[in-house]
């Protein structure tokens, strides 16, 4: 089966990456389902463990969003959806960001109040297979189990997210990579309880909650920016996408072009490009225009939906100088 992003036929190596990413996300879902179950069984009264559980539960959303988006974006553009279904990626991304943000806020409040109220978490014995075990040791074991695989999964997903220009996958990989901190934080919290330091647990929970909240804020900013037709940025949202410059350079090489700029937005995996040209000649050939369109589209698999238009002046926003050197969020 040939995979496609809308009307974009994917090059073979990209198609293989999509298949690989889909497989990794299914593995993530299976692992997370087991992690959520294990942590739920042992979390008891530890706030840090409860926060880690919430994070594991939330980690289910990005893989689901990615799998749903890949399915949806395969559809071809139609009369009703002439741009295709690429925005499904953005919708999934925003949904994950909102979930992270809301849960982060709740957990920060919950663990901070635990500290202020000086709650002393009780962690007693349980009997497992006829042996008495302090439940703290079970919590530590569960955290070791849930802490290591996500880091490996995250490292495997990251290069795919980069190559596929998929922000949901990137957000997911980024969260996975940071998962060991959650696990380590919980372990410190639980061992702290064992050492008789009552605030260790709430403090660890607060640390985990702040990291969830930070993930939420970052993702929200990037997702909202993409949905508001921000200029195409790199997968992490930090820099202008290099294709913008490449397109401008390719167009400028033609003798009949006097001035040119392109307006490129990120539809999800693929870009939608509008190339504005002020010609240096009185009459422009139709063949020149269609040839240029094909040339631009051939620059990268992400560029398929390209519009070339002749104008007497480049739109003002495209010629305005960049206000900040880092670029993406001028108001920052």
Partner 1 sequence: MWSAAACSFPQDPDGTLKRVTGGVLRVGVSENPPFTRWPGGAPEAGESGEPSGTEVELVSAFAASLDAEVAWVPGSEADLMTRLEESELDVVIAGLQATTPWSSHAAITYPYATSIDDKGEEVRHVMAVAMGENGLLTTLESFLLAQDLAP
The residues that touch partner 1, with contacts defined as CB under 8 A, are 119-127, 132, 134, 136, 193-198
Contact 131, 5 (CB under 8 A): no
Report the nearest approach of partner 1 to the CB of residue 203 (Å): 13
Report the nearest approach of partner 1 to the CB of residue 199 (Å): 9
Q: Is 180 exposed, middle or buried (0-12, 13-18, 19+ CB in 10 A)?
A: middle
The β-bridge partners of 257 are 279
| DSSP helix/strand/coil, 249 | helix
Of 136 and 147, which CB lies nearer to partner 1 in the complex structure? Answer: 136
Q: Name the strand (E) or helix (H) holding 134.
A: strand 131-134
Of 128 and 310, which CB lies nearer to partner 1 in the complex structure? Answer: 128
Report the nearest approach of partner 1 to the CB of residue 202 (Å): 11
Contact 318, 276 (CB under 8 A): yes
Of 123 and 158, which CB lies nearer to partner 1 in the complex structure? Answer: 123
Report the nearest approach of partner 1 to the CB of residue 305 (Å): 58
**Alpha-carbon distances, residue 4 vs 71, 73, 84, 169, 191 (angstroms):** 10, 8, 11, 17, 50
Of 193 and 306, which CB lies nearer to partner 1 in the complex structure? Answer: 193
Of 1 and 117, which CB lies nearer to partner 1 in the complex structure? Answer: 117
Backbone φ and ψ of 284, nearest 5°: -105, 135
Sorted by sequence, the CB contacts under 8 Å of residue 110 that are 6+ apart come out as 47, 51, 205, 209
Of 129 and 255, which CB lies nearer to partner 1 in the complex structure? Answer: 129
Report the nearest approach of partner 1 to the CB of residue 72 (Å): 45
Backbone φ and ψ of 291, nearest 5°: -65, -40
Report the nearest approach of partner 1 to the CB of residue 131 (Å): 10
Contact 183, 143 (CB under 8 A): yes
49 vs 69: CA distance, rounded Å: 31
Of 193 and 223, which CB lies nearer to partner 1 in the complex structure? Answer: 193
Report the nearest approach of partner 1 to the CB of residue 200 (Å): 10
């Amino acid at each position: 089966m040939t995979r496609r992003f809308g009307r974009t036929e994917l090059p073979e190596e990209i198609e293989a990456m999509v298949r690989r990413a889909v497989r990794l996300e299914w593995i993530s879902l299976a692992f997370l389902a087991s992690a959520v179950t294990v942590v739920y069984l042992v979390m008891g009264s530890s706030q840090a463990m409860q926060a880690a559980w919430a994070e594991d539960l939330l980690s289910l959303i990005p893989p689901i969003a990615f799998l749903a988006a890949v399915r949806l974006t395969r559809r071809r553009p139609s009369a009703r959806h002439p741009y295709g279904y690429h925005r499904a990626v953005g919708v999934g991304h925003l949904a994950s960001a909102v979930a992270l943000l809301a849960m982060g806020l709740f957990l920060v409040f919950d663990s901070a109040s635990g500290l202020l109220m000086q709650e002393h978490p009780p962690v007693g014995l349980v009997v497992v297979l006829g042996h008495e075990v302090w439940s703290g040791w079970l919590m530590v074991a569960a955290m070791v189990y849930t802490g290591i695989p996500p880091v490996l999964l995250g490292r495997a997903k990251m290069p795919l997210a980069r190559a596929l220009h998929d922000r949901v996958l990137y957000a997911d990989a980024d969260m996975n990579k940071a998962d060991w901190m959650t696990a380590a934080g919980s372990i410190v919290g639980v061992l702290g309880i064992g050492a008789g330091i009552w605030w260790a647990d709430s403090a660890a929970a607060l640390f985990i909650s702040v990291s969830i909240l930070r993930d939420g804020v970052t993702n929200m900013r990037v997702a909202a920016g993409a949905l508001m037709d921000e200029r195409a940025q790199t997968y992490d949202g930090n820099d202008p996408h290099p294709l913008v410059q490449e397109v401008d350079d390719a167009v400028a090489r033609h003798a009949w072009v006097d001035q040119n700029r392109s307006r490129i937005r990120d539809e999800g995996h693929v870009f939608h490009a509008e190339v504005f040209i002020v010609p240096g000649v009185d009459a422009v050939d139709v063949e020149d225009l269609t040839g240029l369109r094909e040339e631009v589209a051939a620059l990268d698999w992400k560029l398929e939906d390209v519009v070339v238009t002749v104008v007497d002046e480049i739109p003002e926003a495209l010629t305005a100088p960049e206000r900040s050197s880092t670029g993406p969020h001028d108001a920052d």
